[in-house]
Amino acid sequence: MRPRLWLLLAAQLTVLHGSSVLQQTPAYIKVQTNKMVMLSCEAKISLSNMRIYWLRQRQAPSSDSHHEFLALWDSAKGTIHGEEVEQEKIAVFRDASRFILNLTSVKPEDSGIYFCMIVGSPELTFGKGTQLSVVDFLPTTAQPTKKSTPKKRVCRLPRPETQKGPLCSPITLGLLVAGVLVLLVSLGVAIHLCCRRRRARLRFMKQFYK
């Protein structure tokens, strides 16, 4: 049966349940534009007719979602591409029990959920899917900021200040002594003048009463 028919069958599924028979890794991956991506699908059973299909779902799984057939790996023919697929971008190869979908030069429109699938009789078995997100710029990882350890505050008791008196220098002492002497001399002169005036007054009174 042609791959297009399997695509139509997958598009008619109303509910998609992942199986443990096919284990896909990683579950989610984000890459930058024009990079290469490798998606892995490991088969836990031995397949007589070794064929693994890779499908892409561009929107969240729902009854209206559609699966695009990308490529399959055949034990005899190798990679078989789906219609309207850029063959130079997609390749499928086998590594023991793992079937790897290799995407090169991815674009934002390549974002979606990628499923691997095997065809049974009559059921279709899907992996749980790998969500691919293609962005122009990857978010940079912020460097952890170093927390500054707060400095311990040391409470210091105020030191008692001793009050120091004014220093008496020899010049200051000399000025003080000179000032005292001037006051004493002025006081002596005032007392002498007062005594002379008193004597003069007494003489005048004696002459007046004679």
Helix H or strand E segment including 38: strand 37-43
- What tens digit of pLDDT does each residue of 149-180 get? 666 676 666 665 555 555 557 888 888 888 88
Helix H or strand E segment including 72: strand 67-74
Pick the most confident of 58-72, 97-111, 118-132, 184-198: 97-111
CB atoms within 10 A of CB 192: 10
Per-residue pLDDT band for 32 (boundaries 50, 70, 90) equals very high
Query: Which residue type sits at 161?
Result: E
Segment 10-23 shows an average pLDDT of 58
Phi/psi at 11 (5° precision): -70, -20
Helix H or strand E segment including 208: helix 170-209
The domain limits of the chain are 20-135, 178-209
Contacts of 69 (CB under 8 A, 6+ apart): 3, 4, 6, 7, 10, 53, 54, 55, 82, 83
- How would you classify the pairing of strands 37-43 and 90-95? unpaired
In this predicted structure, which of 31-45, 72-86, 139-153 has the lowest mean pLDDT? 139-153
The reply to whether omega before 108 is within 30° of 0 (cis) is: no
Helix H or strand E segment including 209: helix 170-209
Phi/psi at 202 (5° precision): -60, -40
Pick the CATH number of 20-135 from 1.10.8.60, 2.60.40.10, 3.40.50.410, 3.90.550.10: 2.60.40.10
Pick the most confident of 2-11, 42-51, 94-103, 196-205: 94-103
Burial 91-130 (b: 16+ CB within 10 A, else e): bbeeeeeebbbebeebeeebbbbbbbbbbeeeeebbbbbb
Smallest CA-to-CA distance from 113 within 79, 67, 73 is with 67
Q: What mean pLDDT is reported for the chain?
A: 79
d(CA 79, CA 92): 6
Are 136 and 32 contacting, i.e. CB atoms less than 8 angstroms apart? yes
d(CA 207, CA 193): 21
